[in-house]
Chains A and B, each alone.
Chain A
Amino acid sequence: EIVMTQSPATLSVSPGERATLSCRASQSVRSSLAWYQQKPGQAPRLLIHGASTRATGIPDRFSGSGFGTEFTLTISSLQSEDFAVYYCQQYSNWPPLTFGGGTNVEIK
């Protein structure tokens, strides 16, 4: 099973600042990585797939990068609606499909 580890667990950021979230895989997943955003009381929403491809309707302030075992989600200028929990998920080697433990982006 591929273990996904996200850091930090909590990220405190001021509105307008850049946020950088990390996701590490226990073995290479190539570019088979997705990012999701989850707001309180809502289902997760797909942001990024293929490590760097934005899903339909996702603003360009969200960008993904990385390959293999190290990945980054960057939010270039945080808006109020971006404060949420973010999860990464690998789909390279399954079953099982696995998620990271999440990063909570909170208002500083």
Chain B
Amino acid sequence: QVQLQESGPRLVKPSQTLSLTCTVSGGSIFNGDFYWSWIRQPPGKGLEWIGHIFYSGNTHYNQSLKSRVTISQDTSKNQFSLRLTSVTAADTAMYYCARAPVTTVRFDPWGQGILVTVSS
């Protein structure tokens, strides 16, 4: 079955750029049936959808983050990535990648998540 795994730096300094990668195994991201998504969860808080990418490269973002977010993909490596610029302590969160069908955009499966802390 499809599995997702997040990777990247766990500590980022304020004003710098957060960069994470999601590696997908058990299925290709070059698949018109799914969106490949990023979701985050600040410690002790709820879930926030960041955005997703489609196999064509088309993206959708949460307007609350849109000016700072870029999601891209590398189909040769079966990976998709998240860049979040100008980070602050408010961006400290567990970051998850997940898959969502394009017809019914619910998230399944999820990666295990990676905790990213923004601190000097």
Residues of A within 8 A of B (CB): 1, 32, 34, 36, 42-46, 49-50, 55, 87, 89, 91, 94-102
Contacts and interface: CB of A to CB of B under 8 A. Distances in A.
Contacts of B104: 32, 49-50, 91
Given A43-B113, A91-B106, A102 B46 contact: yes
Given A94-B105, A96-B63, A45 B49 contact: no
B30 interface: no
Interface in B66-120: 96, 100, 104-113
Q: For the complex, would chain B's binding face be called helix, strand, loop or mixed by DSSP majority? A: loop
A46 B107 contact: yes
A59 B111 CA distance: 22
B64 interface: yes
A46 B61 CA distance: 22
Interface of B: 46-49, 51, 60-64, 96, 100, 104-113
Contacts of B96: 43-44
Given A34-B106, A89-B107, A95 B46 contact: no
Given A32-B104, A43-B96, A89-B107, A95 B113 contact: no
Contact of A43 (B51, B63, B64, B110): B110
B106 A95 contact: no
Contacts of A95: 49, 51, 60-63
A49 B106 contact: yes
B108 A97 contact: no
A14 B108 CA distance: 29
B105 A97 contact: yes
